[in-house]
Chains A and B, each alone.
Chain A
């Protein structure tokens, strides 16, 4: 389905641009430098505040999609934890800079293991080494605290 329809007459004196009208209601944002691509959203209807929705729910009676998506928000507590967990298998690894399908598998992958064994963590270790630790060993054999980072 097309969101926009072509406009018939391109303005003279400018490179032919196939301007398209954004279906209403819409919102469009463009950097005033005009150096960047505009962003816009064509909505099937304008969001609105619905006073008939009882508190404490959001007054924005969103479309069903929104409602559906809302379920993923961690704001809703633990009810969705299971779903989240399943989703969480997919993600992006900041260490390896790649997308993974399965968290557990990725963490065991060669590239990731290489990273985690490397010295990338020295920044963290240095910071931790400056921390004072007053946790005691749970079953102290030698009375000294053993709070090493690695």
Chain B
């Protein structure tokens, strides 16, 4: 197999492997690097083989980090792997090699299949086990006080045949207030007014500062529109063209970074004071503050700094612990650097004490109108308006790292207190994807578009109410009714006819609860863009899957750009009746005809819009859906 792989690998990969050996020459002595496995935004991963001390041979994944990663970030990633990893479906680390700024993390290799290739083949039972094993990994890391922040298919390796699962990629992890991962405590994350803004690419929407857009973009979309704030230095250089796309690329640290060019012309600010304090004091202070009705430590600092030029979200400052000698103190901040403030990498509010207090409203939600300076008061709050008063306020900064489509509502709304519940939300998106056979499910790349998509599924009223509990006022120009999760998933899977006409497009207004074919009308509404011939009327009497396929075929014929994801086999041709029936039988064999209500019940709890009441990973493992697995 090895020689086969070697024969297959491209010139490019050969060069990259050479490059890897050059960057970290020690690898030569230990590994035979066979192939490249993957490439993320901040790393490239290779397959290597090594001889072990006991004489055996083993395969490893070699993760070469981009050399612009801060050593404290890398160390935190490694420590998550070494302390929490190696069990409970969490990847462990074997070793780590470094030469100067080049770092390679060595992990046991786990063969896996990309979900996009197999999602349509999975049985319900496989989906149930998949989500169970993901929740197991989450429970485990959450016990260590690790917020992963980037839960998604690509970071949960799945070997379908061997039924193996492994959570990887702690590159964006943050610690909870009481995290056991020392390096997550120590590291603070630098966030800046601009970079931490809820959209992360607000700079592209500042009038006159629009980032280059794709020429075929008919859709104007502003994330922060006029009037522009009177902060000329904030609208410095036009962002590099990558900024418009970076929001779709995985971790936000990158997004923030690329979308907020450091200008060099920034007003010099005093060097950030390095906070040095003891861990226990921190923890105490954090838990105390989280119970008092004022913003939490760190975040207060963060958001009370007047708006100013920005750089990017990045690790910066430092604390030290009593358990370590002064030498252990890490100074990440260069004195004299122009920068904004600093926030703890630690997520402030400890999330789960007793259920009662969990349900209590977070401190931030208390109205504090009295604290607003009259000069800054306007009448736009909770209306469809904005004015130069509210728009000239400073931006709120909150952690945002992660992947579009998997971000929880509290992340999308720029809520500064975020906890392990954000990972649970992402697990819910994964389950939604698997139950509905849609990947990706949410595809908005702008935070507020993502939020709208969430509202379409979960309801706008529900979203508004939940957001209130974490201190956010959400206004949506249209009421979007909440969807019944089973109906939604079954329709999307093609197991149930979609409602006719306009109502086929959910989110248009009222939800159609009626099932079965309708007497008149076209099969399904064409998407608003592009001409598309209506489907033949008699398609009504066919199962919905057939309607889908017909439509898809028509798509191709009409030259409408086809979706980029893998298509059903055979799409583009006419479907034979027999083939149809076979497919349906297969579906039934895979258990999709008898999905228990508990599956949707769990989905509903994972996708709880309110992080305080959202089910925890530990609780989810005890859900009735998993009774036989306990």
Contacts and interface: CB of A to CB of B under 8 A. Distances in A.
Interface in A31-70: 31-70
Interface in B219-256: 219-227, 229, 240, 242, 244-250, 253-254, 256
A84 B39 contact: yes
A43 B452 contact: yes
Interface in A62-106: 62-78, 81, 84-85, 87-88, 90-101, 103, 106
B121 to A, nearest CB: 10
Nearest to B448: A41
B70 A44 contact: no
Contact of B219 (A49, A52, A63): A63
Contacts of B529: 61, 63-64
Contact of B396 (A37, A40, A75, A146): A37
B96 A107 contact: no
Interface string B326-362: 0010101010010100000000000000000000000
Contact of B258 (A38, A91, A135, A136): A91
A36 B337 CA distance: 26
Contact of A94 (B29, B73, B436, B477): B73
Nearest to A115: B101
B551 A52 contact: yes
A48 B95 contact: no
B71 A36 contact: no
Interface in B461-491: 467-468, 471-478, 480, 483, 488, 491
A87 to B, nearest CB: 5
Given A3-B226, A55-B492, A92-B312, A30 B473 contact: yes
A52 to B, nearest CB: 4
A133 B468 contact: no
B387 interface: yes
A106 B567 CA distance: 41
Given A39-B197, A44-B219, A125 B98 contact: yes
Interface string A4-31: 1001000100110111111011111111
A58 B74 CA distance: 34
Contact of B26 (A21, A131, A148): A148
B394 interface: yes
Nearest to B30: A135
Contact of B257 (A31, A69, A92): A92
Contacts of A120: 70-71, 332
A23 B526 CA distance: 25
Nearest to A76: B564
A32 B487 CA distance: 35
B574 interface: no
A45 to B, nearest CB: 7
Interface in A103-139: 103, 106-107, 112-113, 115-117, 120-121, 123-128, 131, 133-139
Nearest to A53: B563
B559 interface: no
A136 B106 CA distance: 14
A140 to B, nearest CB: 8
Nearest to A150: B98
Contacts of B613: none
Nearest to B29: A137
B110 interface: no
A27 B379 contact: no
Instruction: Tell me which of B68, B96, B199, B491 has the highest count of chain A C-beta atoms within 10 A of its own C-beta.
Output: B68
A128 B95 contact: yes
B242 A49 contact: no
Contact of A70 (B248, B258, B367, B451): B248
Contacts of A17: 378-380, 387-389
Nearest to B190: A97
Given A32-B367, A33-B368, A48 B565 contact: no
B471 A87 contact: no
Given A127-B82, A131-B93, A39 B116 contact: no
Given A18-B388, A65-B218, A128-B98, 11 more contacts: A26-B384, A28-B386, A31-B396, A36-B396, A57-B563, A58-B439, A62-B444, A64-B561, A88-B41, A97-B312, A124-B103
Interface of A: 1-4, 7, 11, 14-15, 17-22, 24-78, 81, 84-85, 87-88, 90-101, 103, 106-107, 112-113, 115-117, 120-121, 123-128, 131, 133-140, 145-150
